[in-house]
Chain A
């Protein structure tokens, strides 16, 4: 075991932190959250210049050739700063899917544009009903000559309202096993028949700004299929795993930040003649918070490392998401408690982290879903 980051990784993290602490204060986060787009095109261009959009793309597609560990570091820092952007939707859910199963032509056409900040994407896969697995897909794609016609409703599609392209996960076959017969379609997000309605939620920061996307007789050329007909399930599962680890890293960054806030506050706030951080009740609370946070850090970076090393890690990803979701939720609640009523004011960042933690808990599978995955991986 070696828990040190490489020198390059340390430098990368420092760059991210410096940039975000300067460019993304809490006031901007709230402003962008309440805007229609949910992000700043100017900041998007700046992070494109920094290479954050092509971080994980091979260099020949305009990227930096980074891996899941580098991505985790970026998301860790973005989570600390609550940076609102369509990065997860565009780069991971969109870009990684194209990288995983797009044709060479599709990769060359789209990936550099994503890396340069010229294209926004999202992946439309979740549907009404209470299931997280891609196998629950019912949106239908019916073949008609050289085209497919899509019909169905997608929910909780991140940043669909600003996307240029959508990747729609649809069912082309009704084969025996529900993993078969799933196909990925790349569509113009403004194609006729696509109706996008933003949802209102406890947090609308970054990928938490989500939409209902209805497909009504939407026509798409069969050349726009990503990968093989009927073989879309495996790539989706792989990309969702990568996205899950990125979201975990984002939650780890937020959890660490909010714990640091709590420690600092409790050292300065005086009650009954002493800093409240000297009271054992709060000390024990924060000790427990540190276990939650460090557990999340260890599980998340373990999963990121295993993805980078291409070691099968379905169990470790599920463990990371189950734990981190609960950890972030608990830590943000305790953080408000430690700050007293002050921590409950909308202007104070504790409330940003608290709201995001609730959204993150359910993103890409909630703790119960992931614990069930762990149980299966354990052989139960």
Chain B
């Protein structure tokens, strides 16, 4: 039993840290902070990403293992590394796993280079948590499919040039068994994109409308009607959110520095028992969230990850992030509501940014309620 990492892993982590510390500086850092202050997500830099590809660091989970890959994710989150192609990597992994040789040859290089960028087309106005109830249809017609329907809350929907769209291809079978995945170009006739402003977190969310949109059969990923199972596997993989652990570590450090430097009535806030207690509690929660998520990563080295592991890790991390946002506002007090570009803003307005982003944490990628269902039913064996 060992909770730390091996010497080799720590050396790799140090290498990654040193690289990020050096490269994410000067103008690049300014550019990142500008975006970050507004939307709590690092912007994406294809050039920066290219260098990481060259170093082999975006493929660490294949060259070394999932633990190394996760370490990289955590440090990327911490340093706010402007890594691009997140969705593209997920889709690439699906195509790698179930795609035809023709699909691999066509799509994989274009995904890796960023020529194809991906928005997620999962939720619909009528279904989010109950995704299997989706109604967007894809009907075969010659060597094409015709897609009709609507997707909403599509992340990257404003700026991407393709979408991975989950559609119904069979109405004669139980709902999970008639679902397929399509890679749909968003610049073809019949596609309408409408940006959907959310209160916080991301500025790249849209509604996608499909009116008789024609796509080649090549764009049907894997086997028809098997899409639900491909998605389930990839969603589990997505849910180990180690990058967010790094992000919260950074926020905690910023708060610690703030309370050490800020004085009220001549005393630093760091000596206020209430502030100490709150920050210590948050630190313990971040540690538990880190351990829960790395437990999933460790489990992945031994086989399929028990679904409740990933649900516990995600749910707890995201609810902790909400608590950290609240704590940040409590520490900043009167200054908490000030936006990043306001006079007198403290901590570059990040308490306000985080707090506006916070409700999204327990809604995106599986609501907390769904996660708790998974934990109870698949973790504890409680009856449906």
B287 engages A1 (CB within 8 Å): no
Q: A275 to B369, alpha carbons, bound, how many Å? A: 20
B264 at the interface (CB under 8 A from A): no
Q: List 10 A-B contacts (CB under 8 A).
A: A1-B2, A263-B382, A287-B380, A291-B375, A295-B288, A368-B277, A371-B276, A378-B279, A379-B260, A380-B280
- Closest A residue to B252 by CB, please name it: A378
The smallest beta-carbon distance between B291 and chain A, in angstroms, is 4
Instruction: With A322-B284, A380-B260 as known contacts, state yes or no: A1 contacts B376, CB within 8 Å.
Output: no
A6 engages B1 (CB within 8 Å): yes
A323 at the interface (CB under 8 A from B): yes
Which one of B148-156, B196-204, B294-302 is at the interface? B294-302
B184 at the interface (CB under 8 A from A): no
Q: In the complex, which residues of chain A have a beta carbon less than 8 angstroms from the beta carbon of B294?
A: 1
Instruction: With A288-B372, A306-B3 as known contacts, state yes or no: A374 contacts B291, CB within 8 Å.
Output: no
CB-CB contacts below 8 Å: B251-283 with A: 256, 259-260, 270-271, 273, 275-277, 279-281, 283
The smallest beta-carbon distance between A337 and chain B, in angstroms, is 16
Q: In the complex, which residues of chain A have a beta carbon less than 8 angstroms from the beta carbon of B308?
A: 290
A319 engages B256 (CB within 8 Å): no
Q: A374 to B270, alpha carbons, bound, how many Å? A: 13
Describe B's contact surface by its main secondary structure. Answer: helix
A299 engages B288 (CB within 8 Å): yes
B26 at the interface (CB under 8 A from A): no
Instruction: With A1-B3, A372-B276 as known contacts, state yes or no: A294 contacts B292, CB within 8 Å.
Output: yes
Interface size on B, as a range, is: 35 or more
- From A275, A290, A368, contact of B375 by CB (8 A): A290
Q: A69 to B3, alpha carbons, bound, how many Å? A: 12
CB-CB contacts below 8 Å: A150-192 with B: none
Instruction: With A280-B373, A287-B376 as known contacts, state yes or no: A1 contacts B67, CB within 8 Å.
Output: yes
B1 engages A5 (CB within 8 Å): yes
B142 at the interface (CB under 8 A from A): no
Q: A263 to B90, alpha carbons, bound, how many Å? A: 36
Per-position binary interface string of chain B over residues 358-378, scored 1 when its CB falls under 8 Å from any chain A CB and 0 otherwise: 000000000001011101110
B297 engages A284 (CB within 8 Å): no
Instruction: With A295-B288, A302-B291, A319-B287 as known contacts, state yes or no: A380 contacts B276, CB within 8 Å.
Output: yes
Q: In the complex, which residues of chain A have a beta carbon less than 8 angstroms from the beta carbon of B380?
A: 263, 283, 286-287, 290
B343 at the interface (CB under 8 A from A): no
A266 at the interface (CB under 8 A from B): yes
Please count how many residues in chain A sit with their CB below 8 Å of the partner chain's CB atoms.
44
Q: In the complex, which residues of chain B have a beta carbon less than 8 angstroms from the beta carbon of A274?
A: 383
B2 engages A299 (CB within 8 Å): no
CB-CB contacts below 8 Å: B329-376 with A: 369, 371-373, 375-376
Interface centre among A69, A287, A305, A311 (most CB of B within 10 A): A287
B280 engages A1 (CB within 8 Å): no
- Closest B residue to A320 by CB, please name it: B284
Residues of B within 8 A of A (CB): 1-5, 67, 256, 259-260, 270-271, 273, 275-277, 279-281, 283-284, 287-288, 291-292, 294-295, 297-298, 308, 312, 315-316, 369, 371-373, 375-377, 379-384
Describe A's contact surface by its main secondary structure. Answer: helix
Q: In the complex, which residues of chain B have a beta carbon less than 8 angstroms from the beta carbon of A301?
A: 1, 3
Given known contacts A286-B380, A287-B372, what 17 new A-B pairs fall within 8 Å (CB)?
Answer: A1-B297, A274-B383, A277-B383, A282-B382, A284-B373, A286-B376, A291-B292, A298-B295, A299-B287, A301-B3, A305-B3, A319-B284, A319-B287, A322-B281, A371-B277, A372-B276, A379-B256
Q: In the complex, which residues of chain B have a beta carbon less than 8 angstroms from the beta carbon of A323?
A: 284, 288
Q: A278 to B381, alpha carbons, bound, how many Å? A: 10
Q: What 8 pairs across the A-B complex have the smallest Cβ distances?
A: A283-B376, A375-B276, A371-B280, A287-B375, A287-B372, A374-B280, A295-B288, A298-B291
CB-CB contacts below 8 Å: A361-380 with B: 368, 371-372, 374-375, 378-380
A3 at the interface (CB under 8 A from B): yes
Instruction: With A1-B3, A277-B382, A278-B384 as known contacts, state yes or no: A284 contacts B292, CB within 8 Å.
Output: no
A42 at the interface (CB under 8 A from B): no
B291 engages A295 (CB within 8 Å): yes
Q: In the complex, which residues of chain A have a beta carbon less than 8 angstroms from the beta carbon of B280?
A: 322, 371-372, 374-375, 378, 380
Residues of A within 8 A of B (CB): 1-6, 9, 69, 263, 266-267, 274-275, 277-278, 280, 282-284, 286-288, 290-291, 294-295, 298-299, 301-302, 305-306, 311, 319, 322-323, 368, 371-372, 374-375, 378-380
Q: A374 to B278, alpha carbons, bound, how many Å? A: 11
- Closest B residue to A311 by CB, please name it: B4
- Closest A residue to B312 by CB, please name it: A291
A283 engages B373 (CB within 8 Å): yes
Q: A319 to B282, alpha carbons, bound, how many Å? A: 11
B312 engages A3 (CB within 8 Å): no
- Closest B residue to A1 by CB, please name it: B298
Instruction: With A3-B295, A278-B382 as known contacts, state yes or no: A380 contacts B256, CB within 8 Å.
Output: yes
Q: In the complex, which residues of chain A have a beta carbon less than 8 angstroms from the beta carbon of B259?
A: 380
- Closest B residue to A279 by CB, please name it: B382
Q: A305 to B270, alpha carbons, bound, how many Å? A: 30
Interface centre among A69, A275, A282, A286 (most CB of B within 10 A): A286
Q: In the complex, which residues of chain B have a beta carbon less than 8 angstroms from the beta carbon of A374?
A: 280, 283-284
- From B270, B279, B382, contact of A283 by CB (8 A): B382
A284 engages B376 (CB within 8 Å): yes
The smallest beta-carbon distance between B380 and chain A, in angstroms, is 5
Q: In the complex, which residues of chain B have a beta carbon less than 8 angstroms from the beta carbon of A371?
A: 276-277, 280-281, 284
Q: A278 to B383, alpha carbons, bound, how many Å? A: 5
Q: A283 to B277, alpha carbons, bound, how many Å? A: 31
B372 engages A283 (CB within 8 Å): yes
Instruction: With A277-B383, A371-B284, A380-B276 as known contacts, state yes or no: A3 contacts B1, CB within 8 Å.
Output: yes
Q: A178 to B259, alpha carbons, bound, how many Å? A: 28
The smallest beta-carbon distance between B305 and chain A, in angstroms, is 13
- Closest B residue to A376 by CB, please name it: B276
B3 engages A295 (CB within 8 Å): no
Q: A380 to B288, alpha carbons, bound, how many Å? A: 20
The smallest beta-carbon distance between A138 and chain B, in angstroms, is 24
A378 engages B284 (CB within 8 Å): no
The smallest beta-carbon distance between A161 and chain B, in angstroms, is 36
Q: A4 to B1, alpha carbons, bound, how many Å? A: 5
Q: A319 to B277, alpha carbons, bound, how many Å? A: 12
Q: A76 to B115, alpha carbons, bound, how many Å? A: 55
The smallest beta-carbon distance between B272 and chain A, in angstroms, is 9
Instruction: With A287-B372, A287-B375, A294-B292 as known contacts, state yes or no: A1 contacts B279, CB within 8 Å.
Output: no
Q: A291 to B375, alpha carbons, bound, how many Å? A: 9
- Closest A residue to B257 by CB, please name it: A379
- From A69, A302, A380, contact of B279 by CB (8 A): A380
Q: A278 to B230, alpha carbons, bound, how many Å? A: 28
Q: In the complex, which residues of chain A have a beta carbon less than 8 angstroms from the beta carbon of B270?
A: 375, 380
Q: A319 to B271, alpha carbons, bound, how many Å? A: 19
